[in-house]
Amino acid sequence: EPEVTQTPSHQVTQMGQEVILRCVPISNHLYFYWYRQILGQKVEFLVSFYNNEISEKSEIFDDQFSVERPDGSNFTLKIRSTKLEDSAMYFCASRANTYSTDTQYFGPGTRLTVL
Amino acid sequence: GNSVTQMEGPVTLSEEAFLTINCTYTATGYPSLFWYVQYPGEGLQLLLKATKADDKGSNKGFEATYRKETTSFHLEKGSVQVSDSAVYFCALTPTGTASKLTFGTGTRLQVTL
């Protein structure tokens, strides 16, 4: 069964460093998402991406964050200058089409630790 | 805005016990409702969903009914197993768009022998 994959599974970085989290969505999907979950808190939406542009973003997704689909398969989240409060589990998700009944499929997550 | 409220965990049950995890929501219109499950060390997996009032979603012995009048989507299972130990997330998405999921805080279920 097709699945969303994410790399790395765990990333440790120093405050102020740039990180890139990578995702490979399911191949025929059109909509891509990033969510994050700070330890012990709820899963929060960051950004959605369709047709090579951001379709929606949350207030968390400030100028330090960016997303890109550099080729036909990868979908990346970049944090330019990490802060301690960026430590969280980051989930990528993808969906096939535009109907809200359509399921979002999640990857296993990348745990980001900022020291 | 949209929001989802789940009962606090952890919930600890003995094997074969009955499970209820409460979920209520606030949303305009008629959102679609979901339960996702996260097993230890894994990502979020869709457990079941319902897209309109009175729909019942079911999977792997779990059920939830979309109750518009009480804005609820409680998760139930008649007889839990140790393998059901996981974190369960209730979520919604607005109708008619490819919009984001809004999640509850998650409820950890621990099933013991």
How far apart are the C-alpha atoms of A30 and A25, rounded to whole Å? 9
A45 touching chain B per CB within 8 A: yes
Residues A48, B99: C-beta atoms closer than 8 Å: yes
Residues A108, B104: C-beta atoms closer than 8 Å: no
C-alpha distances out from residue B37 to B28, B40, B97, Å:
25, 10, 23
For residue B43 the two structure tokens come to: 């990502």
How far apart are the C-alpha atoms of B90 and A38, rounded to whole Å? 17
**Average pLDDT, integer, range B85-93:** 94
Taking contacts as CB-CB distances below 8 angstroms, the residues of chain B near A100 are 31-32, 51, 93-99
**pLDDT score of A71:** 87
Residues A43, B49: C-beta atoms closer than 8 Å: no
Residues A42, B99: C-beta atoms closer than 8 Å: no
**Chain A interface, best mutation among B52, B101, B103, B107, by max A CB count within 10 A:** B101
Nearest CB partner across the interface for A100, out of B32, B43, B104:
B32
Mean pLDDT of chain A: 92
C-alpha distances out from residue B25 to A33, B107, B110, Å:
22, 15, 24
**Structural contact between residues B16 and B79, judged by C-beta atoms closer than 8 angstroms:** yes
pLDDT per residue as tens digits for the range B15-56: 999 999 999 999 988 899 999 999 987 888 999 999 889 999
pLDDT per residue as tens digits for the range A49-98: 998 999 999 999 999 999 999 887 899 999 999 999 999 999 999 998 76
